[in-house]
Amino acid sequence: MLADSHMPDLTDRTWLWLATAFYLAGFVLGALALLRERRQSQAVIYALVLAGFVIQSIGLYERGLAVKGCPLGNTFEIFQFTAWSAISLYLVVGPTFRLSLLGFFTSLMSAVLTSVSLAIPAWDATRRIGAFGGNSWIEFHAALALFSYGVFALLALTAVMYLLQVFSLKKQHLRGLFAFLPSIRDLDHINLRLLLAGVMILTASIAVGSVYWLQDLDKVNVAKVVTTLAVWATYAVALGLRLKTLLVSKRFAWTCILLFAAALLSLKPVNSSRQPLPAMPPASVQR
């Protein structure tokens, strides 16, 4: 087992704090380079984010063992999993598209998402053991849905980068951070691809979930389904409008950011509307 024999005996939250520290280190390193107006070392930031990702994976794995399933049972776990998803995507997308500053922004976002989730004890006050009732399909559905949120998180980041580049060029502020941003066209292309990927993953998640829902309509959590479908529909509409070039440039970027904010906010009602399940006390999980 991954964490059985050679891993230090740390709690899941300690691993996750450690991962946050690595993400923060990536951000600080990038910020220092920007302050000195020097090009960032993409490889070093990538290595720090990768190290944080590995450590976060261990933390989430420990948590998964403790809650007997995918750790998506409370707001803390959802934020952690969303950050983890965004980073896993960055680790693949980053070297492929070679977008400068993407590592810097990803480490910033991950540091914020993970540290906020760790800093608010109430979000992790109750842990749901076997939150998915041992149904692997519904667990798969939830994991896919959260992974799509990770994609949308990365999309929100690249949309912010797009807006910064437009601001830079329109206002002729070309130095500092702005000097290292990727081109408008590259950012626009990656935005479209991420939106397409996110919608496809969320569609797959809903398709998997619907199989379970159709089997037993009584168990369907209407609030959750409606919220999920609403998020999916708005992203799908945004994709359609973008493909038809009716929603482009800054309006498209702002839509991506606002939709992600709305998607994050929707997690709260979705999470709180779940049926009560066996809970654990707030202490760190002991294996």
249 binds other proteins (CB under 8 A): yes
Residues in 23-42 at the binding interface with other proteins, rule: CB under 8 A: 37-38
- Per rule CB under 8 A, is residue 6 in the interface with other proteins? no
Examine residue 250 and tell whether it contacts other proteins (CB under 8 A): yes
181 binds other proteins (CB under 8 A): yes
- State phi, psi for 25 to the nearest 5 degrees: -60, -40
Residue 169 engages other proteins in binding (rule: CB under 8 A): yes
What angle is formed at CA 13 by the lines to CA 12 and CA 17, rounded to 5 degrees? 120
Q: According to CB under 8 A, which one of 172, 216, 217, 286 is a site residue for other proteins?
A: 172
Residue located via tokens 């992790």: 124
183 part of the interface to other proteins, by CB under 8 A? yes
Q: Could you give the CA distance from residue 22 to residue 25 in angstroms, rounded to a whole number?
A: 5
- By CB under 8 A, residue 248 contacts other proteins: yes
For residue 109, the minimal CB distance to other proteins (Å) is 23
- Alpha-carbon span 81 to 84, nearest angstrom: 5
The reply on whether position 96 binds other proteins by CB under 8 A is no
Question: By CB under 8 A, is residue 165 in contact with other proteins?
Answer: yes
Residues in the chain: 287
> In sequence order, what are the residues at sequence separation of 6 or more whose Cβ sits closer than 8 angstroms to the Cβ of residue 138?
132, 208, 209, 212
Q: Which of 33, 184, 204, 236 binds other proteins (CB under 8 A)?
A: 184
